Amino acid sequence: MTGFRTPQGGLIDRSKPLEFTFDGRSYSGFQGDTLASALLANGVRIMGRSFKYHRPRGVWGAWFDDPNAIFDVTLNGRTLPNCAATTTALIDGMQARAVNAFPTAKHDLKGVLDRFHALMPAGFYYKTFIWPNWHLFEGMIRKMAGLGRLDGELIAGYQSAQHHDRCDLLVVGGGGAGLAAARHAAEAGQNVLLIEDHPALGGGLFRRALPVEGQSPADWIAAQQAAILAAGGRILTGTTAFGVFDHNMVGLAQDHGFAKAPSLWRIRARRILMTTGALERPVTFANNDRPGVMGLDGALEYLARYGVAAGRDIAVLSNNTFATAAQPLLEQAGCKVTLLDATRGPAKAIGKTLRAVDHNGQRIACDTLLVSGGRTPVVHLWRHAGGKLDWNNTISAFVPGHAPDGMAAAGAANGTYDLDDALSEARAVALNHAAPPARKPVPMPLLQPDTNSNTRQWIDLQHDVTLKDIKLAAQENYVSVEHLKRYTTLGMAPDQGKTANMAGLAAMAQLQGQSIPETGTTTFRPPFVPVPLELYHGARRGQLFNPLKRLPLENRHRAAGAALGEYGGWLRPAWYSDIDAEVRMARNHVGLLDATPLGKIEVMGPDAAKFLDFVYYNTIATLKPGHIRYGFMLTEGGIVFDDGVVARMDPNRFVISCSSSHVAGVTALLESWRQDGNDPDRVFIHDTTANWATLTITGPQAKPVMQALDLGVDLAGFAHMTWQTGHFHDTPLRVARVSFTGDTSFEITLPSAQAEPFWDTALQLVQAENGGPIGIEAVSHMRAEKGFIIIGKDTDGETMPHDLGFSIPRRKKRAAFVGDRSLHSETANRPDRRQLVGLRSDTLLPTGAHLVTGKRSIGTVTSSYHSPTLNHPIALALLENGANRHGEAITVWHMDREIPATVTAPCFLDPKGDRLDA
């Protein structure tokens, strides 16, 4: 019990006490506290356990740089896992529990693991759990891994708002440099946005506690804030820039309090000024993980912001002059302070409950050891944007080097630690001027660990990476920093290199006998701090997560009792009553199908015919106006991309009716080829699918229905694969004679606004012929009876058109076309290519089942149905050399079951096509 609340000071509201619990014990704090500051004020030292050895951990820092105090927090029945105690604002009634500890952080039963630490060095599980089988141990290890606990309950209303915005200058960090820069730029007329992740502006000015340009920190901060706002600048507090993305897009997470989803701001900034400050750098020495060993800056933050002293008897181990400045502040708070020079020999913390530090041959009694091994500029955003880092020998740190476009750094983030220098630099950079040279550099000699010591010296407090682990990594040749990071887990997870990175680099550099810049740095990636996945979620949720396209006739289908389902990105009627009955109805009488999703892509221009000749496997240029042709589009690899029909409207206009699910893909493919090798002013592509409804009348009684509809078309002379124009009342329409069922069919395409009246009329007439509506499932059965394929279902990523029986263009087409060359490759001519066949069996074959010879798969079942027309199972399949195997018996294997089948031609019904004109 060493930390205590000072009688005065801090930004907290002492008139508003708050009650909370930690690991089941009750404590109190004040409005403005964080969970960590309140616990520290209550004298709580142990706030967590390390990941691997379950060593006790106190707080190291006071903000996002603390790796130790991570809690599951419950408030009003809502639990959030993995809350950083240092950044979670205290609320009355909070119940916090340390993660990775049972039953409490103070008395963690798994703490016994630390006794076996010698058996668990870096990478031990890679080596230990490989025999007899990793999976034997996987469950146990996964159970032990991880930190917080999800309670499985959704938090109602937990939804992130998203905003897009712009500014001339985005200033990241509301400390002294950031405030000065933002004010200067705003007063110069720039559209300025200043963000600060703390609830209050000021950054490190509070802990510094010295006048700023003749004013108290609070007055100076208030003056800058007022001036920025008066000049039209904007300020967002409680907001963290978590990443810089392409084209100066900065992602901001705006905090709204506990269990409320943060807002996402996507800010497009003309310039980004990084005034993100610098982090305290740890010192590597024996037992430096003991609770009570803290960063100096962290302790000063607790004192300045929360009125909490970290201890009463404090030793400060430092290599820089900030410790000297801190001494009177700590003493004013009632602490006894001893300064120790970290450059003068190694140190060792004494006592499980810290009671002293051995340093330079002396033992100094203390209950708290504050350390400062220098500063590490916060350069994460700089690296996200692709900026380079330079090593600065004076301050022994990586600082921003060659700048990414539209980005600059100032203040401590740029290695300028003196406040006056930082303010001058920030004001200059804010106006895109060159920064004046620093007048008062703050030298910080590099501290290197004692690599000859056998003591336990911590590099990464959260993941229990010690100096010994770095040595082991070096010994096993994981000397690249990227390998070092992954082998040891150094700097991973929330830390992201904030505290552990430089200590690890220094150790590896020392071990390799090289400098830190020669050793290099790891890659920084967004997010800078952990953010909930909800932040990225946006409005796309529930039915809007991946919404289907909706038919203009959907309400009619619902009223008819249709079962709706997803087909190629559309919500379509699967069936209305009974699939088999619908098939029999359409085969024997007539069916009405909503075929609206069929592609209606117009290709127009003087070069349209030549263009389609190039894009299609088949010859299109010879197609006459008024006629329709079935064809394939191929990829450059000769693989079937889509099939469908092309109708020629006039010499310069074609309409492609492609697969319903491929409209976007076909449009993109056409547009891609249009822009490659064609005069772009002589051929254009319009996807007009959304403008039209298409209804198909199919079956032996289709013609009587068409006669009754009286659409003004010449039914007597209406040949298969031709089209005509007509009208429904005053609405012009197109009628095409194409068939996907094998029966006489008419596809009527009319403006979607007229779909409902046309459907109502047509359905009445269809029902008069003992027909009715049919769903897509019935059509799927009917097309399979005819051996008609569905691309992507009956073809795969290797299927070429000759595998489907379409080989004439490959042999005879003279004009160049997409995929031509690939159709003549050795692969394309292999005798064992998988070809489309039919399968007959007494059993309904599972789709996806393998066709086997012995234990080898030689094909797969691609479609399988019980044919209501033929009253037996039918299937389509891709089979090696299938075209030459008709009549062969074959074994179908599925889930250890073998089913006999016979290979047939793909077409099971009306192979001569007599029904087309029945």
Partner 1 sequence: MRNDSHKWDAPTDHRLPLIRDDLTIRPIALHRQTLLSGPINTCLQLANQPKATGWPDPAQSTAYALRLRRDRILSVNGPTLPDGWHPQGAAISDMTHGYACIEISGPRALPLLNQGTELDPATPSNSCMRLFHGWPCLIYQWQTDSFRLHINAPHSEALWKTLVPFS
Among 11, 155, 161, 218, binds partner 1 (CB under 8 A): 161
Binding mask 166-205 for partner 1 (x = CB under 8 A): x---------------------------------------
680 binds partner 1 (CB under 8 A): yes
Q: How many CB atoms lie within 10 A of CB 893?
A: 15
Of the pair 296, 601, the CB lying nearest partner 1 is at 601
From the number of C-beta atoms within 10 Å of its C-beta (0-12, 13-18, 19+), residue 182 rates as buried
Q: How far apart are the C-alpha atoms of 899 and 183, rounded to whole Å?
A: 79
Q: By CB under 8 A, is residue 793 in contact with partner 1?
A: no
Question: What is the spatial distance between Cα 529 and Cα 698, in angstroms, rounded to a whole number?
Answer: 61
Contact status: 164 vs partner 1 (CB under 8 A): yes
Residue 158 as a binder of partner 1 (CB under 8 A): the answer is no
391 Cβ contact list (under 8 Å, min separation 6) = 397, 398, 399, 515, 516, 517
The nearest distance, CB 261 to partner 1, in angstroms, is 14
- The verdict on 627 binding partner 1 (CB under 8 A) reads no
Quote the CA–CA distance of 465 and 485 in Å, as a whole number: 10
Nearest CA among 715, 705, 760 for reference residue 590: 705
Residue 254 or residue 462: which is nearer to partner 1 going by CB? 254
Q: Which is nearer to partner 1, 221 or 782 (CB)?
A: 782
Torsion sign over Cα 573, 575, 576, 581: positive
Distance CA 273, CA 169 (A): 7
**DSSP track, 132-146:** S-HHHHHHHHHHHS-
Residue carrying the six token digits 């609340």: 5
Decide if residue 602 touches partner 1 (CB under 8 A): yes
Q: Residue 191 Cβ, how far from partner 1 at the closest point, in Å?
A: 8
652 binds partner 1 (CB under 8 A): yes
Shortest distance, position 520 Cβ to partner 1, whole Å: 36
Q: Does 551 bind partner 1 (CB under 8 A)?
A: yes
Q: Residue 256 carries which side chain, given as an amino acid letter?
A: H
Which residue, 393 or 688, has its beta carbon nearer to partner 1?
A: 688
Q: Work out whether 751 is an interface residue with partner 1 (CB under 8 A).
A: yes
Quick one: CA torsion of 764, 770, 772, 776, rounded to 10 degrees?
A: -150
Q: How far is the CB of 169 from partner 1 (least distance, A)?
A: 14
The token pair at 565 is: 């389902």
> Any contact of residue 15 with partner 1 (CB under 8 A)?
no
What distance lies between CA 779 and its chain's CA centroid? 38
Q: How far is the CB of 684 from partner 1 (least distance, A)?
A: 4
Decide: is 650 part of the binding site for partner 1 (CB under 8 A).
Answer: yes
Pick 268 or 894: Cβ nearer partner 1: 268
- Closest distance of CB 729 from partner 1, Å: 16
Element (H, E) at 180: helix 176-187
Interface with partner 1, residue 563, by CB under 8 A: yes
Cα 427 to Cα 183: distance, rounded to the nearest angstrom: 8
Shortest separation between residue 740's beta carbon and partner 1, angstroms: 19
Query: Alpha-carbon distance 638 to 624, whole Å?
Result: 26
Of the listed pieces 429-437, 488-496, 554-562, 803-811, which binds partner 1 according to CB under 8 A?
554-562
Closest CA to 640 of 625, 648, 630, 649: 630
Among the listed ranges 335-343, 372-380, 751-759, 840-848, the one in contact with partner 1 (CB under 8 A) is 751-759
Tell me if 163 contacts partner 1 by CB under 8 A: yes
Provide the residue type at 276 as one letter.
Answer: T
327 binds partner 1 (CB under 8 A): no
Among positions 187, 341, 534, 554, the unique one binding partner 1 when judged by CB under 8 A = 554
Please choose, out of 16-24, 31-39, 130-138, 564-572, the segment that lies near partner 1 by the rule CB under 8 A: 564-572
Cβ atoms of 95 and 117 closer than 8 Å: no
Find the binder of partner 1 among 560, 649, 708, 918 (CB under 8 A).
649
Which residue among 26, 332, 688, 825 contacts partner 1 (CB under 8 A)? 688
Task: Figure out which of the listed residues 266, 456, 627, 850 binds partner 1, where binding follows CB under 8 A.
Answer: 266
550 interacts with partner 1 by CB under 8 A: yes
d(CA 314, CA 46): 17
Least distance (Å) from partner 1 to the CB of residue 569?
9
Q: Name which position in 690, 808, 816, 870 contacts partner 1 (CB under 8 A).
A: 690
Chain centroid offset of residue 460 CA:
27
- Residue 129 backbone dihedrals phi, psi, to 5 degrees: -100, 30
- Binding part of the chain for partner 1, among 253-261, 279-287, 611-619, 645-653 by CB under 8 A, reads 645-653
Kindly state whether residue 379 participates in binding partner 1, applying the rule CB under 8 A.
Answer: no
Q: Per CB under 8 A, does 756 bind partner 1?
A: no
For residue 671, state whether it binds partner 1 (rule: CB under 8 A).
no
- What distance in Å separates the CA atoms of residue 877 and residue 861, rounded to the nearest whole number? 4
Among residues 608, 713, 766, 823, the one that binds partner 1 under rule CB under 8 A: 608
Alpha helix stretches (DSSP H) within 456-530: 467-475, 481-488, 500-512, 516-519
> Cα–Cα distance between 531 and 176 in angstroms, integer?
26
Among 379, 571, 633, 877, binds partner 1 (CB under 8 A): 571
Q: Are the CB atoms for 63 and 43 separated by under 8 Å? A: no
What's the rounded Cα separation, in Å, for the pair 513 and 501?
Answer: 18
- The residue (of 165 and 798) whose beta carbon lies closer to partner 1 is 165
In the bound state with partner 1, the residue whose beta carbon lies nearer, of 16 and 540, is 540
Q: Which is nearer to partner 1, 124 or 158 (CB)?
A: 158
Q: How many CB atoms lie within 10 A of CB 663?
A: 26
Is 727 a residue that touches partner 1 (CB under 8 A)? no
Binding flag, residue 581, partner 1 (CB under 8 A): no
- Under rule CB under 8 A, residue 548 binds partner 1: yes
Shorter beta-carbon distance to partner 1: residue 444 or 553? 553
As measured in angstroms, the least distance from the Cβ of 607 to partner 1 is 10
Does 626 contact partner 1 by CB under 8 A?
A: no
The residue among 210 and 539 lying less far from partner 1, judged by its C-beta, is: 539
Distances (CA, A) of 188 to 231, 248, 589: 8, 22, 80
Residues 83 and 77 sit within 8 Å (Cβ to Cβ) = no
Contacts of 378 (CB under 8 A, 6+ apart): 274, 276, 277, 278, 279, 412, 413, 498
At closest approach, how far in Å is the CB of 164 from partner 1?
Answer: 4
Binding segment for partner 1 (CB under 8 A), chosen from 182-190, 315-323, 685-693, 909-917, is: 685-693
Q: Which stretch binds partner 1 (CB under 8 A): 131-139, 163-171, 281-289, 524-532?
A: 163-171
Q: Please report how close the Cβ of residue 537 comes to partner 1 at its closest, in angstroms.
A: 11
| Distance, CA of 780 to CA of 797 (rounded, Å) | 21
DSSP E strand stretches across 262-396: 263-274, 278-280, 293-295, 308-309, 313-318, 336-341, 347-350, 356-359, 362-365, 368-372, 375-377, 389-392
Kind and range of the H or E run holding 458 = strand 458-460
Number of residues that bind partner 1 (CB under 8 A): 54
Q: Is 777 in the site for partner 1 (CB under 8 A)?
A: yes
**364 touches partner 1 (CB under 8 A):** no
Contact residues: partner 1, CB under 8 A: 161-166, 266, 268, 538-540, 543-544, 547-552, 554-555, 558, 562-566, 570-571, 574-575, 579, 602, 604-606, 608, 649-650, 652-653, 680-681, 684, 686, 688-692, 751-753, 777
